Amino acid sequence: MTYMSKDERRSSIINAAVEIALTKGLTGATVRAVAKAIDASPGQIHHHFASASDLRAEAFRTAINRVAVPGPDELAGMVPLDRLLSALIGEGQAFDVQTAGLWNEALAVARKDGIVRKAVRGLMEECIESIKEIIEKGQSTGDFRKDVKPGEVATRLVAVAMGLDLLASLELETRASSEEIKDLVARGLLENQ
């Protein structure tokens, strides 16, 4: 085993947990599995994470933040509607089947595990806040209607996107292409649609 600083060791643990979570599922990211993956003892994992739940929650947050959150550079230059759709449904992002599966598993685990629930809720709140800010910006530039409440609309849009993702994960035809979703959102937020 190679010597690493505390931060390097923690990063190594998180990276291994993310890889395991993406390939074997979130519940596969056990303390023992992560320790084995990095040739460490379970005690070293527990030195950084109080429980397997803490480890899984951090692996989930890290995995989702790596691929699913569009940054300001990715959204710059887009018209408000395209910016909203990119943040909402991830057009052009690396949000793949593995990551979608991890998200869906985290939702299921969160029902029984309060620590994972807190991580899922935190990411969901960040997503809703980002979408709310995009709507507010669109309202301030006159691109979106001013008579809608951005927080309420953001929450509903996230719920619709999650519902479509759930249907897709069940291999049910959603019959909603990106263009159809764009049209639906546009009718609700744009003037004269």
* SS3 per residue for 44-105: HHHHHCCCHHHHHHHHHHHHHHHHCCCCHHHHCCCCHHHHHHHHHHCCCCCCCHHHHHHHHH
| Whole-number pLDDT of residue 91 | 55
Shared domain check, 99 and 34: no
Q: Which two tokens stand for residue 6?
A: 């505390």
Shared domain check, 108 and 47: no
Q: Is the confidence at residue 12, as pLDDT, over 80?
A: yes
Shared domain check, 78 and 44: no
Q: Name the 3-class secondary structure at 176.
A: coil
Per-residue confidence at 103, pLDDT binned at 50, 70, 90? confident
Report yes or no on 1 lying in a domain.
no
Q: Is the confidence at residue 163, as pLDDT, over 90?
A: no
CATH code, 143: 1.10.357
Shared domain check, 93 and 27: no
Shared domain check, 103 and 39: no
Whether 93 contacts 70, CB under 8 Å? yes
Per-residue confidence at 70, pLDDT binned at 50, 70, 90? low
State the DSSP code for 138. Answer: H
In degrees, rounded to 5, the angle at the alpha carbon of residue 78 between the alpha carbons of residues 93 and 120 is 40
CA distance 52 to 20: 13
CATH code, 38: 1.10.10
Higher pLDDT: 33 or 87? It is 33
**Taking the mean position of all CA atoms in its chain, how far away is CA 35?**
25
| Whole-number pLDDT of residue 9 | 93
Residue 30 identity (one-letter amino acid): T
Shared domain check, 136 and 96: yes
Shared domain check, 137 and 50: no
Per-residue confidence at 88, pLDDT binned at 50, 70, 90? confident
Question: Looking at the 3D structure of the chain, how many domains does it have?
Answer: 2
Q: Is the confidence at residue 53, as pLDDT, over 80?
A: yes
Shared domain check, 181 and 148: yes
| Whole-number pLDDT of residue 20 | 96
Q: Which two tokens stand for residue 154?
A: 């953001």
Higher pLDDT: 35 or 7? It is 35
Shared domain check, 54 and 134: no
CA distance 10 to 48: 6
Residue 44 φ/ψ, nearest 5 degrees: -65, -35
Report yes or no on 128 lying in a domain.
yes
Per-residue confidence at 2, pLDDT binned at 50, 70, 90? low
Dihedral of CA atoms 120, 165, 21, 13 in degrees, nearest 10, equals -50
Query: For residue 55, what are the domain limits?
Result: 6-61
Shared domain check, 179 and 89: yes
Average pLDDT over residues 78-82: 82
Q: Which two tokens stand for residue 137?
A: 């910006």
| Whole-number pLDDT of residue 165 | 73
Shared domain check, 76 and 57: no
Shared domain check, 128 and 49: no
